[in-house]
Amino acid sequence: MTERAEMLARIARRLGQPAPRDQVAWDPRASLPERPPSIPAAELVRRFVAQLGRLGGKAIRVAADAEAVDYVLSVVAPDVVAAGRGIPPSPPAGGEAQGAAAPGPVLLWDDPLLTRLELAAALASRGVEVSVWRPDLGPAALKELAARARAGVTGAWWGVAETGSIALPAGPGRGRLVSLLPRTHIAVLPESRLVPSVAELFRHLVEEPDLPSSLALATGPSRSADIENDLSIGVHGPADVHVVIVPG
């Protein structure tokens, strides 16, 4: 095997240096726009909703926490909502693409934002099977849960209006698989975390003292065009993506 010192010395030699260099001057500020733009929050919301919609995802701005709960419920258990309104259940439309018709629990991040919404309790009280990503359940059980879940519900660190992206950090209560294995992914995003552009997202990221072990910037549903250029959704990641923008 090649040793680190050997590889570095070889590269230095190729570059005409007697030895690897310890110090290099570099100013990364020129890689970002000079100053942040100022765009009103309502406009950011409008752009985010439009962008995600264009990609086949759905974003919605709600005025109160209770509305967020209703929206999540309408996605993960439309039959329950319909029954509540006195609408008789309709037979599920064919195909496994019907996320809501699929069995399995709704898997939630253990996250202060979702706790604030009391989402787990609200879903459970309506008869929806709910599980929370608690690391003490053990990796194997959690992986199995995520593979079986009908939907994953997460928070989001940032949202990007330019692209309709959300930034999903990993952490003890924030399993990576929650936004990855279930066919439906719902992210809850506080309005104050919306930034105008990818550039502004990075302006925030460079300020972070420590990046999480995994940070996924997810932009709409999983897509592929590998079969005769025909767009297909959800080949690996979620096919059905929702972002609920809540006050705060």
Partner 1 sequence: MAGGTFRARARKALENPRLRRAVRVTMNNFMSARRAAMAELAQLAREGLALGDFAAMRERARAIKQHTLDHLDHYLARAATAIGERGGHVHFAAGAHEVGEIVREIARRRGVTLAVKSKSMATEEVHLNRALQADGIEVVETDLGEYIIQLAGETPSHIVGPAIHKTREEIAQLFGRVVGRELSTDTPTLTGVARQVLREKFVRAGMGISGANFVVAETGTLCIVTNEGNGRLVTSAPPVHVAVVGIEKLVPTLADLYVFLGLLARSSTGQKISVYTHMITGPRRPGEADGPEELHVIFLDAGRSDILGTEYQEVLHCIRCGACLNHCPVYRQTGGHAYGAVYSGPVGTVLTPLLGEFRDWKDLPAEACSLCAACWEACPVGIPLHDLILKHRQKTAREGLDQSGLGGPLRLGAAAWTKPWAYRLSVRVGRLALRWFAREEEGGRRWAVKAPGPLRAWTEGRDLPAPPEKSFRELWAEHLRERGQRA
Which residues 179-198 are close enough to bind partner 1 by CB under 8 A?
180-181, 196-198
The nearest distance, CB 211 to partner 1, in angstroms, is 4
> 112-127 burial, b if ≥16 CB within 10 A, otherwise e?
ebbbebebbebbeebe
Q: Does 93 bind partner 1 (CB under 8 A)?
A: no
In Å, how far are 6, 14, 125, 221 from 2, measured between CA atoms? 7, 17, 60, 41
Using CB under 8 A, pick the residue from 50, 66, 121, 206 that binds partner 1. Answer: 206
Residues 121-150 that bind partner 1 (CB under 8 A): 133, 135, 137-139, 142-143, 146-147
Binding mask 42-81 for partner 1 (x = CB under 8 A): ----------------------------------------
Q: Supply the Cα-derived Rg of the chain in whole angstroms.
A: 22
Q: What is the DSSP letter of 58?
A: E
CA–CA separation, 140 and 168 (whole Å): 22
Binding mask 12-31 for partner 1 (x = CB under 8 A): x-xxxx--xxxxx-x-xxxx
Q: Does 163 bind partner 1 (CB under 8 A)?
A: yes
Interface region with partner 1, contact rule CB under 8 A, candidates 66-74, 101-109, 186-194, 222-230: 222-230
- List of residues 6+ apart from 124 with CB closer than 8 A: 130
Q: How many CB atoms lie within 10 A of CB 228?
A: 5
